[in-house]
Amino acid sequence: MSVKNKVVVITGASSGIGEATAKLLASNGAKVVLGARREERLQKISEEINNDGGQATYKATDVTKPEDLKSLVELAKSKFGAIDVIFNNAGIMLTSPVSELKVDDWNKMVDVNLKGVLNGVAAVMPDFTAQKHGQIVTTSSVAGLKGSIGSGVYGATKFAVRDLMEVIRMESAQEKTNIRTATLYPAAINTELLKHITDDNSKQRMDKFYQAVGITPDAIARVVNFAIDQPEDVNVNEFTIYPTKQG
């Protein structure tokens, strides 16, 4: 079973990596179910996909709310009859030095980047376990592989999901549930991610860096497509994606 006809739930689908992935997967025949908070953006993307001959539906979703993720998965099943893949992609990057003690930002990142992924996993696990088939793709970051200045708490959330995905992979093999996991470690990708940074110094530094080296989110969409497209007995599970210009 390739990308074609797979039912894929995507969080963070209203912009950036999620939007690019939804469009690419749909153009290759996947049925995509879009979730994020900005409903009007989801509606527009969904319409674009459907007008181009693809199949998409959407629902306003806050990944910090477990019931929202459950509803999104229910929508996938009621509209398209199944769920094959969840792409846990919603995330926020509110970088600042730890010494600034931006505790509100820390809590938001833990809620979206870590608990949001846990809520996605919890929403699909009963179906994936029962049907002995499913794939969990999660966007971590190069900040989840190596610490960098300003990324202390952001990186902590991204390290955490890396571990979670690896353990799900191992437990699935042991429990013979055939659940595949793929974890993405993107570097500088030009999206709306930097818009929300509250620390001026961090924002300026990141803006300058991204302008110099950043690449488009289609790069990540192609990798997700590749991971989903593998045969069921092949789990390609970790991808680091750098702009060629980024050192």
Which residues are annotated as catalytic? Answer: 154
Q: Is 86 in the site for ligand NDP (CB under 6 A)?
A: no
Assess 33 for contact with ligand NDP (CB under 6 A). Answer: no
CB atoms within 10 A of CB 65: 14
Question: Shortest Cβ distance from residue 169 to ligand NDP (Å)?
Answer: 19
Of 14 and 96, which has the nearer Cβ to ligand NDP? Answer: 14
DSSP secondary structure code for residue 81 in this structure: S
63 touching ligand NDP, by CB under 6 A? yes
User: Secondary structure of 152-199 in the HEC alphabet?
Assistant: HHHHHHHHHHHHHHHHHHHHHHHHCCCEEEEEEEECCECCCHHHHCCC
Q: Which of 14, 135, 151, 183 binds ligand NDP (CB under 6 A)?
A: 14
Q: Is 62 in the site for ligand NDP (CB under 6 A)?
A: yes
Answer for which of 38, 146, 208, 245 binds ligand NDP (CB under 6 A) is 38
Cα–Cα distance, 68 to 232 (Å, whole number): 28
Q: Which is nearer to ligand NDP, 46 or 61 (CB)?
A: 61
Binding to ligand NDP by CB under 6 A, coded x per residue (else -) over 98-137, reads: --------------x-------------------------
**CB closer to ligand NDP, 168 vs 220:** 220
Backbone angles phi, psi at 203, to 5 degrees: -65, -50
Does 139 interact with ligand NDP (rule: CB under 6 A)?
yes
What is the gyration radius of the CA atoms in the chain, in angstroms? Answer: 17
Size of the site for ligand NDP (CB under 6 A): 31
Using DSSP, state whether 11 is helix, strand or coil: strand
CA distance 142 to 69: 26
First to last CA, the chain: 37
Where does this chain bind ligand NDP (CB under 6 A)?
11-18, 36-38, 41, 61-64, 89-93, 112, 139, 141, 186, 188-189, 191-193, 217
